[in-house]
């Protein structure tokens, strides 16, 4: 079973690798594709703007919504993409100075914090349709998995139809 990381940052703890490998093997996957791990403020801004551009409604807490509001406002003013990204990065950094209240995304944290709990997105589109729900159920059952946000099944924990991937928060040993 192979773990393929397509994220700009390949930062997976040993516990995360172990969980993904064991779950992937159990449900019969040849590969699990991780599309996001730790993000810099720039990578976070690019991800958020991409979601806005693709009309994906990703729900954020207060700080994330502040960044999205800024991006939408600037898009409405026809500001060029590069300038929007720059403004979003500045806003992410400004809000981060507020501490946990100002955290835009759990993907976008200090490395020391990320190393305690890996936040990853896994592509369900890269999985055979008949394996997706089994993968999700098996991940949910793992004690290392602290939180799930997923667009696969309304009957399972963490359903959010607006999510473009399966989001897992995995505590490291």
Q: Where in the sequence is the domain holding 68, given as residue range(s)?
A: 41-102
Buried b (16+ CB within 10 A) or exposed e, 89-112: bebbeebbeeeeebbbbbbbbeee
Single pTM value for the model: 0.88
Same domain as 31, residue 114: yes
Q: Could you give the number of structural domains in the chain?
A: 2
Give me the pLDDT at residue 157, please: 96
The tokens describing 50, both together, are: 């991409």
Domain boundary pick from 102, 130, 147: 102
Query: Domain end: 55, 78, 102, which one?
Result: 102
Question: Contact, 78 vs 30, CB < 8 A?
Answer: no
Q: Are residues 142 and 95 in the same domain?
A: no
Segment 81-127, tens digit of pLDDT: 999 999 999 999 999 999 888 999 999 999 999 999 999 999 999 99
Q: Which of 64, 81, 102 is the last residue of a domain?
A: 102
- 160 and 114 both lie in a single domain: yes
How many angstroms separate the CA atoms of 52 and 29, rounded? 31
Give every residue of the chain whose pLDDT is below 70, as ranges. none
* Claim to verify: residue 85 and residue 63 sit in the same structural domain: yes
């Amino acid at each position: 079973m192979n773990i393929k990381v397509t994220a700009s940052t390949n930062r997976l703890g040993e516990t995360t690798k172990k969980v993904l490998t064991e779950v992937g093997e159990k449900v019969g996957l040849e590969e699990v594709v991780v599309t996001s791990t730790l993000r810099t403020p720039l990578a976070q801004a690019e991800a958020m703007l991409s979601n806005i551009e693709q009309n994906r409604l990703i729900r954020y807490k207060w700080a994330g919504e502040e960044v999205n509001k800024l991006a939408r406002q600037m898009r409405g003013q026809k500001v060029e993409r590069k300038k929007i990204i720059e403004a979003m990065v500045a806003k992410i950094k400004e809000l981060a100075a507020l501490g946990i209240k100002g955290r835009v995304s759990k993907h976008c944290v200090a490395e020391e914090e990320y190393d305690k709990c890996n936040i990853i997105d896994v592509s369900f589109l890269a999985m055979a349709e008949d394996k997706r729900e089994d993968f999700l159920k098996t991940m949910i059952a793992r004690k290392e998995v602290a939180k799930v946000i997923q667009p696969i099944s309304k009957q399972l924990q963490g359903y959010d139809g607006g999510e473009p991937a399966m989001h897992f928060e995995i505590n490291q040993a």
